[in-house]
Amino acid sequence: MILGVSGPYGAGKGEVVAYLEARSFYPLSLSDVLRDELRARGLEETRERMIATGNELRAKSGPAALAERLLARLAPDRNYVIDSIRHPAEVEALRAQGRGFRLIWVDADPALRIERLRTRGRTGDPDSLPKLLEQEGRERRGGGDAAQQLDAVEALADFRVRNEGSLAALHAEIQRVLGACQGFERPSWDEYFLGVAQMVASRSNCVKRHVGALIAQDKRIISTGYNGTPRGTRNCNEGGCPRCNGFAESGTRLDECLCSHGEENAIVQAAYHGVSVRGATLYTTFFPCLFCTKLIINAGIREVVYDAAYALDERAGKLLAEAGVAVRRVERTRA
């Protein structure tokens, strides 16, 4: 879950961020990108300098420049709350990363907000209502594509929170937002197991193709395998296989190949550890070859799920069908 927080001066954005941080959301700010830039330039941080630097970076690298820099910090297994969103292109960039970004707009009456600003006494804050409205006016409407455009950001908000009562009331509003954001998509079991198989493939030592396979039973992984030279011998990428290192044409010099296939290794590893694969499903990043097909059938595997087709799979496919082994293709989405 990634929640963005935006709004005018003194609306209570900091309190929203603090509330979410206490509930395991990692806080990030587009202002941190500006602070990093100012430190790199050896400049002291001021509000005016932050605004000018933000406008400069947007003009130079595009209106979503700050959000794009921040995206590199996002880990896929964490909830985040991101504040200081002040341009619609930043909202669109955060939405485009594909993790269900939602924007919260926090607001309050200007007279109440100026009292809050006076109480917190932060350098650079406006100290009167006319100054507040004047400064906000510039930031709300913007002065070109690279300038702050808070009105346009507000128009993109998924949730609007009025913060004109007690902290308890604000917290209740944030809990309402959290309740509305709990629905999210999870990968199917096929996507999950094929994703794991793809990671297994990264351990392959074959110089021609990396293939990963796993065997699952009752939604539990019982064995994995990747292609490469046999246990205790020289790895293919270290010169261990003459066929692969010679980059032989597909289907030729097979008698010289010393690499075991991913599906083969997954079945062998199960046997090595005394684990039955009867009735299981084999997931593989490539359609199995004829040799692996015979192993699959004789091992009692009931289903093969694969990602990518293979040039020599016609005979293997017919044999799997004849043996009653179900075959499905599930293509994984790649970035």
Instruction: Name the band, by pLDDT with cuts 50, 70 and 90, for residue 143.
Output: low
This prediction has a pTM of 0.68
Q: What is the pLDDT of residues 308-332, one digit of tens each?
A: 887 656 899 999 999 999 999 997 7
Q: What is the pLDDT of residues 89-105, one digit of tens each?
A: 999 999 998 778 999 99
**Measured between alpha carbons, how far is 104 from 116 in angstroms, rounded to an integer?**
20
Instruction: Name the band, by pLDDT with cuts 50, 70 and 90, for residue 1.
Output: confident
Catalytic residue among 37, 139, 173, 263: 263
Give 94's contacts (C-beta < 8 A, 6+ positions apart): 2, 4, 67, 71, 82, 85, 101, 103
Per residue, the 3-state secondary structure of 144-198, as one string, reads CCCCCCHHHHHHCCCEEEECCCCHHHHHHHHHHHHHHCCCCCCCCHHHHHHHHHH
Q: What is the average pLDDT across 127-144?
A: 77
Residue 286 to residues 94, 277, 294, Cα–Cα distance (Å): 34, 19, 16
327, 293 in Cβ contact below 8 A?
no
263 is annotated as an active-site residue:
yes
Give Cα 245 to chain centroid, integer Å. 35
- pLDDT(185) > 80: no
**Measured between alpha carbons, how far is 170 from 126 in angstroms, rounded to an integer?**
24
Dihedral angle of Cα 280, 325, 212, 241, to the nearest 10 degrees? 120
User: What's the length of the chain?
Assistant: 335
Check residue 47 and give its pLDDT. Answer: 76
Give 34's contacts (C-beta < 8 A, 6+ positions apart): 50, 53, 54, 57, 66
Check residue 335 and give its pLDDT. Answer: 44
**Measured between alpha carbons, how far is 71 from 91 in angstroms, rounded to an integer?**
12
Type of residue at 33: V
Instruction: Name the band, by pLDDT with cuts 50, 70 and 90, for residue 171.
Output: very high
CA 193, 198, 203, 205 dihedral sign is positive
